[in-house]
Amino acid sequence: MKIVKSLLCTLVVSHLCCQKQNTNPSDKPGIPANLELVKQPVVTELNIPWGMAFLNESEVLIAEKSGDILLANVTTGTKKNIFKVPGAILFGQGGLMDIRLHPDFSKNKLIYFSYSKIADGQPTTALGRAKYSNEAISDFEEIFVANARSNSGVHFGSRIAFDGKGHLFLGLGDRGNMQQAQNTLNHMGCLLRLNEDGSVPADNPFVGKPDFLPEIWSYGHRNIQGLDFHPTTGKLWAHEHGPQGGDEINIIEPGNNYGWPLATYGEQYGGGTIGPPTYPGTVQPIHHWTPSIAPCGMAFLKSDKYPGLNGNLFIGSLVGQHLNMTRFLNHTLVSETRLFQGEGRIRNVVESPDGYIYFSDETNGILYKLLPVFKE
C-alpha cells in the first residue's frame, strides 16, 4: 500500500503559565532524531468520517456524518455499509458524530453513537446504542436525548468516553447561543455523565440541586469535540473550540465551571471582545490556542510503537489542517508538533488495539495509519 510522506511542520512551545501562552512555536522538533512519522492511507473514498471504533487490529467501524456506519478493514482497504443510525439527521454541523465500543464489548457487543436528531421540532444531540454481531448491527435503542434544542445548525459537540466504572461522558456544545453555556437548566455547553443505560448516576455533583440538571458533570464549555482519559493520572481531558482564537484543553473535575463565555482567550469573529481571559469562579484551561486550530478528536498514545512519544497527546485539527502532537509535563505544554500541515481537515484520532495511531481526513475522505519509520 502506498505510503505518503510529507514535510512535517514541527513546533515546540514553552509556556510559563496559562496566561502567558505563546502560539508562535520555535523550530525545535518534538520527534526523536532517528524517527520519522509518515502517513499511510488505509481506507479511502469516505464521506466525512467523524468517528472510528476498532473491533480488532484490522477491523474498524467508521461513523460517517451522513448517518452511515461502515465496517472497514485497514489491512485490505475494503469497506461496506452495514447500518444507518435511526433518527440521525444531517443538519449544519450536526449528523452522526462519535462511535464508541462499550468497555466490555467482547462480552456484551454494545456500541454507542452520538448524533443530531429532531426532538420537539428542533435539532439536538442524542445518544444511542446497539449490538454488533457477524458484521451487522441490530437492536438499536435511543437511551438519551439532550436538552439542547435549538434551530441553530452549530455546536452539537460531540464525543463519548467511558470511565470503565459503569459511566459514560457525553461532550456537548452551546448550540451557537453562548450565554446558554452558563444556564444549568439545560445541557448546552455541558459535559454530561450518565450511566451506561442513559440514566443519571446518583453521585453526579448536581443531583438534587434545583438550579442544575442532574446529568451535568461540568459546564461553561463552547463546543467539546475531544475526550480521553490520561493514561497515568486517569483524569478526563477535554478540548473545545474557541471562537476566533481561544481553543482550549481542560482537565475535567466534577462540578467545575470552565468559563465560556464569561472567560475566554478568544474574540468575536471579525474582532471584538467577548470576555476577559479569567473570571472568578471559573477554571482556567491548561492550554489554549490563538490563532485557533479547531481541535477535533484526541487520543493519548499508550503504546511503545513510536519510541520516545509514549504519553503524547494526538489531536486532529480542522482549521489548521494538521495532526497535532503535544507533550505535557505537570500540566504544562513542553512541545507541540504539527504533522502533515495543510493536507486536510483531521476530524478524529484513535489508537488501535495494536497500538498504532489512526486519523481521519474529512477533506479527502481518507483514514490514515501513522507509521514510524526508523532512520539509519
Provide the 3-class DSSP secondary structure of residue 103.
Answer: coil
330 by Cβ neighbours in 10 Å (0-12 / 13-18 / 19+) ranks as: exposed
Contact call for residues 197 and 235 (beta carbons, < 8 A): no
Set 102, 155, 287, 322: catalytic member: 155
Interatomic CA distance for residues 230 and 31, integer angstroms = 21
Interatomic CA distance for residues 326 and 30, integer angstroms = 8
Known catalytic membership, residue 287: no
Contact call for residues 344 and 361 (beta carbons, < 8 A): yes
Interatomic CA distance for residues 170 and 158, integer angstroms = 7
Residue 64 one-letter amino acid: E
Among 64, 97, 77, 10, residue whose Cα is nearest residue 369: 77
Q: Strand 159-162 vs strand 167-171: parallel, antiparallel, or unpaired?
A: antiparallel
Across the strands, what pairs with 124? 117
Long-range contacts of 67-73 (CB under 8 A, 24+ apart): 67/95, 67/96, 67/115, 68/96, 69/96, 69/99, 69/113, 69/137, 70/46, 71/135, 72/43, 72/367, 73/43
Contact call for residues 252 and 238 (beta carbons, < 8 A): yes
Among 276, 297, 264, 98, residue whose Cα is nearest residue 178: 264
Distances (CA, A) of 362 to 46, 48, 295, 296, 343: 8, 5, 13, 11, 11
Annotated catalytic residues are 155
